[in-house]
Structures are given as structure tokens and as C-alpha cells.
Amino acid sequence: MIESAVPCHKTHAVFHIPEANYLGSFAPVSEPAAADPAAEVRRALAYPIGSAPLSMLAKRAKNCVIICSDHTRPVPSRYIIPAMLEELRRDNPNIDVTLLIATGFHRGTSHAELVAKFGQEIVDREKIVVHDSRDDSKLQDAGTLPSGGRLIINKLAMETDLLVAEGFIEPHFFAGFSGGRKSVLPGIASRETVLANHCSEFIADPHARTGILEGNPIHRDMVYAAKQAKLRFIVNTVIDAEKRIVRAFAGDLEAAHAAGVEFCRKQANIEVPEADIVITTNGGYPLDMNVYQSVKGMTAAEAVCRKGGVIIMAAGCSDGHGGESFYKALSEAASPEAILADALSHPRNATIPDQWQYQILARILKDFKVIMYAPECPQEMLRSMKLDTASSPDEALEKAFAHCGKNAKVAVIPEGVSVIPVKK
């Protein structure tokens, strides 16, 4: 019997897989974490890619906005932000700095989550504003996206002398990769802009997939938005399974992000044999805090599971479903096919909140049985969303074998959000 422990919430879920059925565990091949994460961030800042140093950009600026990730992202901000602040103030100690939390379409980040992210000292000392995509009084028009949607972003970002951002780079299930331009769209964009960018037409585009940037209409809009906002400098990291910094990249919006993407791609590309049953995760907390986020890990399994097979998703889901529109669409529809038909009927300018997420989940549910091992989540809620449930990892496997047969082959992808899987 093979014991396979995968990240789930703040611990691990252990699956017992018969050896005859086990195809293997397929994870990114990560370089060792930086021995000194703070020093690695300082190194990246000292040798920016395609840009003058941050201290030089800040020299004559009266104010600066740093776009920071929110509570749903494991960005190592405790190391990044102090280093960025030091650089900004090196030759301009009086620069007025605001940390703008890029919530995108998520709920607002709480005070406790800010402390967990930055540390008490930063929260007590620095000016922090949490972006609200629905507060029109704090937003400003910035033109028209290549797709035709309106570009409306946070007024603080538009009015600052210097706009910079932190973030991290990993494979993303429809933007290709996270990081870089995503700080602006969806990070600090309006509700209307996010909806236009995440429309059903783009989500259905075969280029809007994990690891694809070329020809990706969602990525194209995002780059345009970041340029319109005049995002001058980024500090992005690539992290390992323990959320430790492996490498940092700093500099120009596009050049530094491209370097980070290339590094990430080399680690994330994995070959996986086609499997009848695929066990996957979102890499644990905070990325698995709700069902909404867990869809991302499911797409890794989708890429290598045979049609009609089973995807087992291990995720804590301590925050429940993660979106009221997302929940209602899944719980009220007759079938996955009905959900897809409804999503695709909405034109670009009439996207429904959370439509992209339920469209992708419906696409998966149409072709696979999905069993959730989500110990922190109400089980009846999951079942109402057309997801099967299991009270333990082994019960999830029992249900999967019952569906696929006793000879079913099982593959494990313990870091579903960190890989770009292709069938071997």
C-alpha cells in the first residue's frame, strides 16, 4: 500500500493507494529554497531586469502606491515589502507610500489577515488601503481594453507618481501565469472591468489555459491594463511547496515577469500518464480556503484524467463556497451542461459575477466525477453544488474505485496549482 500525503488546509491528507493501482506522484521539480529569503529579494532589487533601480525611480516622486496581493495568495510579503520600502526611501525618505491591497473580485482582506501577511510592524506603521471593486467613488476610467471592455481601475493607482507591485508567479488556469500584470487586472480593477475580462468567450478560448500566454485574450487585456496604469516596477517571486522563496525577479513589468515565467515554466512542466483517478490539491491554505479557489487545482487533474474518470480534490474550504453567485449558479442549475449553456449565452459586456469560475467547474463536471475531501466545509453545501463528498481520504478513494473499477489507475498531483501537466 502506498501512503500519499498531500497538502490540505493547514495540514496534510493521507491517501492509501494499492501499489498495483498507483501510477506515481507528479510534482514540480523545484530548485532549493533561498537560504536567506530577504537577501534573495534584495539581490533581485539590486539587479533589476529591464529597468532602472527602484530607488532611482522613486528619487523625485512625492508619493508611491505599492499594489500588494490579498489574503488568498501565499505571496511572501513579509520579505518583499520591507525590502521595497527600504529601496523607495533610500534616496527619498519623505516619499508618501500607500500599500494598496489587490482584492480583485474577492472579499476585503481583514485586519487579522493583513497582520498575518505583513507582520504587525508593517500594519501599524504603514498606510494600507483595501481595494473595493464595487466602490465607484474610489475608481477612475482609464480607457478601453483591447477586447472592447471599459478599463476602470483604482483612483489611487492612477493618481500616484509611482506605481509598483509585488506578487508571485505560478501557473494560472486561465491567465497562463499569475504575477506581473495581474496586479492591475483583476487586482485593482473595477467590477465592470473584471467581468469584461473574464467573459465566457475568453474562458472558452483554448488559449486561455494553464501555461499559455501567446494568443491568450485574457493575458492581452491584462498587459494593456498594467501599461495604462503605468505600472513601473514589479517584485515577483517563485515559491516552493512550503511557500518559501526560491527566486525573486524585479524590474520592468514585462521583462521581469517574462524572466520569472521562464524560470517557473522549467519547474512546472510535468508529464503524467493518463489516469482513471487523479488526486489533486490547491497546495493547502490559503489557496484552498474555499471551493471557488479549489477549481484551479481541479484543472490540473482535468488535463490528464481520462474522460469519465474521477478527480479527487483535497481542500480545506474553511471559507465555504467562496462566492454567492458561484454557489447559486451551481446549486440551482439542472446540470453542468445547463450551466455551460447559460454562461456561453452571456456576451462580453453582460458577464455574471463568478461566471468564469462556475463555467470552468461545469466544464470539468461535464466530463468527470469530482469528489471533494473538504474537512472544514459543510458537506451538504458541497453536494448541492453537484460535487460528491467524502469524510476521509480513504472514503474518497473507495468511491472513486466504485465508479472506475478495482483496476483503475491512480495519479497524484499534490500541487495542482503549481504545475503545467501534459499527458505522457
CA atoms within 13 A on the CB side of 142: 30
Strand partners, 67: 100, 165
Q: Which residue has the cell 449553456?
A: 341
Q: How far apart are CA 221 and CA 174, in angstroms?
A: 13
> Of residues 9, 71, 131, 172, which has the active-site annotation?
172
Phi/psi for 192 (5° steps) reads: -60, -40
Question: Among positive and negative, which fits the CA dihedral 130, 136, 140, 145?
Answer: positive
Question: Among positive and negative, which fits the CA dihedral 14, 18, 19, 24?
Answer: negative
Other CB atoms within 10 A of residue 211 CB: 20
Phi/psi for 215 (5° steps) reads: 80, 5
Q: Which residue has the cell 495542482?
A: 416
- Whether 172 sits among the annotated catalytic residues: the reply is yes
Q: Which residue has the cell 458537506?
A: 379
> Of residues 106, 198, 219, 321, which has the active-site annotation?
106
Q: Which positions are catalytic? A: 106, 172
